[in-house]
Amino acid sequence: MKLQRKKIAIVGGGPGGLTLAKLLQLKGADVKVYERDLNKNARVQGSPLDLHDDSGLAAIIKANLLDEFKSNYLPKADRKKIMDEHAKVFFSDHESKVEEDFGNPYYRPEIDRGALRKILLESLQDETVVWDSHFISMNKQNDGWLLHFKSGNAIYADLVIAADGANSKVRPYITDVKAFYSGVTMLEGNVLNAKDAAPKISALLNGGKIMAFGNEKNILMGQKGNGEIGFYVSFKTNENWTSNSGINFSDKAQVLQWFKKEYHNWSSLWQDLFENAVTPFIPRPIYCMPLDQIWEVQPNLTMIGDAAHVMPPFAGEGVNMAMRDALELSECLTSDNYNSLQEAISVYETNMRIRASAAAKESLDNGEIMHSENALKTMLDFFSGH
């Protein structure tokens, strides 16, 4: 194996980086994950993840973690309701969906991000993850890289893999191609103990997901395993809306006032989310890498997940693509079919870019549909199979 006697550094301990570490360890590789979080108990942000048969779930199965996944997933969280701005339900699969259908290529079981991270962390060898490792820079040394961290530590690696997300600090060592703004911004909020704090919406959600469309805007939300509701209001605006809006996102009253103005045609029911959310709200301008990006292959450096191909979330492919990247990269790096690590990386990157481009195109197209005048009808036709 070409990884023998080579030290591998994965920068970033999200689902992609941890999955890659697990898969490489199963092949006997010497791998460390450098994560900026202080420790394993750091709060994991974001809504639950739905894993797809040919990507996220495929990686879980390859990592021999399907039993652990089944013990931690959210059985009803993949059920959805599609509604209009007045909170009228037009579609629900709550009564028709079977609770468990592993093996069905269209089944997309959901799991909390924190639960997925815990499963992956506990499957790794002791001290695989080096916490409190905020990557600053790196420079070439011998045939590898010397990585420098905010703590003052520096480590050598023969092979570096960027898994540090959309704002990757490692990516610029590979390419100067940058993401472009998609035209959509999302405002994220969380309601703790939602059953008591927002009982009407909690009952409507019923442990699943809601997608509400109206006036070229939408609200997306999902039930988390810890009793929280994570929600996103999504709308078209300029790239600098976050700074130009004048909103203090730690001021609940200001954010609620903005929502009432911008979503004035929407039912007052939705205001319960803002009145009971914890602060701060998190604005998220949505970016996407160019669909035709390309770079020169390096013999000791590559990237996976959002570091390589950040895209809008409107196809549910982000984490799934990262985990598939991990699966394919691990197989390329440990294969005897290639003459060098550079050739293995080249094969992986070529296939990854093709996959990512198709997924990003789908995400961008879905984003346009979901913020169009006919969004509700189009989404109903899609989920009804028309």
Give bridge partners of residue 146 from the DSSP assignment: 139, 156
State phi, psi for 105 to the nearest 5 degrees: -60, -15
pLDDT tens per residue, range 92-105: 988 887 677 788 77
pLDDT on residue 32: 98
pLDDT over 70, % of the chain: 99
8 Å CB contact between 76 and 207:
yes
Q: Taking 60 as the threshold, does the pLDDT of residue 386 lie above it?
A: no
Q: What is the pLDDT of residue 116?
A: 94
pLDDT exceeds 70 at position 134 = yes
Domains contained in the chain, number: 2
Q: Determine if residue 54 is labeled as part of a ligand binding site.
A: no
Task: Determine the pLDDT at residue 225.
Answer: 80
241 located within any domain = yes
Averaged pLDDT for residues 271-285 = 96
| Within a domain: 208 | yes
For 323, the domain range is 7-41+124-178+290-364
Q: State which amino acid sits at residue 125.
A: Q
Return the CATH number at 240.
3.30.9.30
Say which residue, 121 or 107, is predicted with more confidence. Answer: 121
Q: If pLDDT is split at 50, 70 and 90, which confidence band does 223 have?
A: confident
| Confidence band of 2 (pLDDT split at 50, 70, 90) | confident
pLDDT of residue 37: 94
Characterize 352-370 residue by residue with b for buried, 16 or more Cβ atoms within 10 angstroms of its Cβ, and e for exposed: bbebbbebbebbbebbbeb
- What pLDDT is attached to residue 374? 95
DSSP string for residues in 95-143: TTS-S--TT-TT---EE-HHHHHHHHHHHSPTT-EE-S--EEEEEEETT
Element (H, E) at 301: strand 301-303
- One domain for residues 235 and 190: yes
Q: What is the DSSP letter of 222?
A: E
Asked if residue 161 belongs to a domain, the reply is yes
Would residue 27 count as lying in a domain? yes
Residue 41: what pLDDT? Answer: 85
For residue 378, the SS3 value is: helix
Q: DSSP for 21-40?
A: HHHHHHTT-EEEEE--SSST
Does one domain contain both 190 and 143? no
Confidence of residue 179 (pLDDT cuts 50, 70, 90): very high
* Residue 69 binned pLDDT confidence (cut-offs 50, 70, 90): very high
Say what the pLDDT of residue 1 is.
66
**pLDDT over threshold 90, residue 47:** no
The domain boundary, picked from 253, 288, 323, lies at 288
Mean pLDDT, all residues of the chain:
94
Averaged pLDDT, 339-350: 97
- Position 131 scores a pLDDT of 97
281 and 295 share one domain: no
140 within some domain: yes
Q: Was 50 annotated as part of a binding site? A: yes
Tell me how far apart the alpha carbons of residues 214 and 371 are, in angstroms, rounded to a whole number: 8
Q: Residue 271, Cα to own-chain centre: how many angstroms?
A: 27
